[in-house]
């Protein structure tokens, strides 16, 4: 009796890739999006330094950053949790923009985008950029705070550290866009604390959706470092174009911090 040959397994393997194949595909996608994002951030930074009008390129910049954020966060979280976190953070910031009143300077929550006095589209992009900033600040904070992971208050450390990073970026962005301020030290301190508390509140409210639910160890990704470097590069170029070199140096320090986080993330792979 003749044996029946087994059906080809190629189609089945393509339909059901192994875990290793998925990891390779995920890493390739992360590398590709990182390259496009960094290239776009360099283009936007050059445009900011030379004074080119480039709102379209800035929209692409934020969109690529969000796509890259979805990719690296999806390694530890279900996709619906990632999208929910982005929606919550963007909504909180959009409400804050409307409450603070769009026409005043000092309400910049995005990397070099026009201030809140611009169109509704620009306000939406500001809100998206705020979500991009907070989620990647938390991603940068994770490898930097790796030694505290065994602490019973590790979650609080992460919230505080990520909020401090986001606050530092926001203060630098504000200075780069608005220039020297005549405010008193008390007013400046109140502004910094306002940024910090707002970032802390946003991250605290979104934390339940960021709890890891996928089985296996938590994956530490390098992509947040690229997003962080790109965001700060744009602000640094904005400050340099206006002659605010102290702000540019401050953003350079934040870039170095992101590079350090990226190296530590590589060490955990």
Q: In the chain, where are the structural domains located?
A: 33-210+217-267
Model confidence at 170, pLDDT cuts 50, 70, 90, reads: very high
Between 106 and 83, the higher pLDDT residue = 83
Model pLDDT, residue 10? 45
Between 188 and 254, the higher pLDDT residue = 254
The token pair that represents 17 in the structure block: 């890739």
Measured CA to CA in angstroms, residue 205 lies from 73, 77, 91, 132 at distances of 17, 17, 12, 16
Model confidence at 112, pLDDT cuts 50, 70, 90, reads: very low
* 209-230 confidence digits (pLDDT tens): 998 766 777 888 999 999 999 9
Among 131, 154, 173, 143, CA closest to 257: 143
pTM: 0.85
* 32-70 confidence digits (pLDDT tens): 999 999 999 999 999 989 888 767 888 899 999 999 999
């Amino acid at each position: 009796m003749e044996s029946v040959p087994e059906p080809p397994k190629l189609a089945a393997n393509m339909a059901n890739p192994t875990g290793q194949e998925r990891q390779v595909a995920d890493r390739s996608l992360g590398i590709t999006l990182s390259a496009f994002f960094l290239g776009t951030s360099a283009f936007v930074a050059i445009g900011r330094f030379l004074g080119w009008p480039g709102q379209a390129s800035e929209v692409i910049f934020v969109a690529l950053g969000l796509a890259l954020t979805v990719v690296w966060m999806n390694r530890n979280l279900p996709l619906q949790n990632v999208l929910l976190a982005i929606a919550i953070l963007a909504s909180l910031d959009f409400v804050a923009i409307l409450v603070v009143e769009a026409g005043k300077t000092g309400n910049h929550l995005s990397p070099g985008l026009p201030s809140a006095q611009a169109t509704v589209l620009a306000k939406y992009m500001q809100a998206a950029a705020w979500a991009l900033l907070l989620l990647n600040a938390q991603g940068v904070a994770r490898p930097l705070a790796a030694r505290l992971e065994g602490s019973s208050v590790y979650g609080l450390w992460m919230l505080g550290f990520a909020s401090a990073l986001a606050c530092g970026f926001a203060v630098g962005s504000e200075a780069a866009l608005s220039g020297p301020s005549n405010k008193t030290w008390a007013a400046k301190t109140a502004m910094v604390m306002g940024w910090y508390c707002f970032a802390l509140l946003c991250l605290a409210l979104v934390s339940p959706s960021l709890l890891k639910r996928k089985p296996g160890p938590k994956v530490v990704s390098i992509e947040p470092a690229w997003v962080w470097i790109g965001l700060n590069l744009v602000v640094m170029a904005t400050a340099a174009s206006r002659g605010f070199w102290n702000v540019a140096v401050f953003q350079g320090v934040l870039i170095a911090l992101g590079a350090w986080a990226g190296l530590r993330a590589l060490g955990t792979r």
